[in-house]
Amino acid sequence: MPTPRPLAYLFDLDGVFYNDTRPIPGGADVIARLRAGALSDSPPGSRGRSAKGVPFRFVTNTTSKGRVSLAAKLQGFGISAEPREIFCPAVAAAAFLREKQASGVFFTTADTRAEFDDVREDVTQPDYVVLGDLGDDWTYAKLNQVLRYLLNGAQLIALGMSRYWRADDGPRLDVGPIASAFSYATGIAPIVLGKPARDFFLLALRDLHVDPVHCTMVGDDIVTDIGGAQSAGMQTILVRTGKFRPEDLEGAIKPDVIVDSIADLI
Which residues of this protein are in contact with Mg ion, per CB under 5 A? Answer: 12, 14-15, 220-221, 242
Task: Name the residue nearer to Mg ion (CB basis): 215 or 222.
Answer: 222
Task: Name the residue nearer to Mg ion (CB basis): 33 or 163.
Answer: 163
Task: Name the residue nearer to Mg ion (CB basis): 14 or 133.
Answer: 14
Residue number of the CB atom closest to Mg ion: 15
Distance CA 151, CA 187 (A): 10
Cβ at position 81, least distance to Mg ion in Å: 16
Cβ at position 12, least distance to Mg ion in Å: 4
Cβ at position 129, least distance to Mg ion in Å: 25
| Three-class HEC string of the chain | CCCCCCCEEEECCECCCEECCEECCCHHHHHHHHHCCCCCCCCCCCCCCECCECCEEEECCCCCCCHHHHHHHHHHCCCCCCHHHEECHHHHHHHHHHHHCCCEEEECCHHHHHHHCCCCECCCCCCEEEECCCHHHCCHHHHHHHHHHHHCCCEEEECCCCCEEEECCEEEECHHHHHHHHHHHHCCCCEECCCCCHHHHHHHHHHHCCCHHHEEEEECCHHHHHHHHHHCCCEEEEECCCCCCHHHHHCCCCCCEEECCHHHHC
Task: Name the residue nearer to Mg ion (CB basis): 111 or 221.
Answer: 221
Angle at CA of residue 50, ends 46 and 56, nearest 5°: 110
Residues 63 and 52: beta-carbon distance below 8 Å: no
Cβ at position 248, least distance to Mg ion in Å: 12
Cβ at position 16, least distance to Mg ion in Å: 6
Cβ at position 119, least distance to Mg ion in Å: 27
Task: Name the residue nearer to Mg ion (CB basis): 15 or 104.
Answer: 15
Task: Name the residue nearer to Mg ion (CB basis): 37 or 163.
Answer: 163
Task: Name the residue nearer to Mg ion (CB basis): 13 or 156.
Answer: 13
Cβ at position 62, least distance to Mg ion in Å: 9
Distance CA 260, CA 238 (A): 8
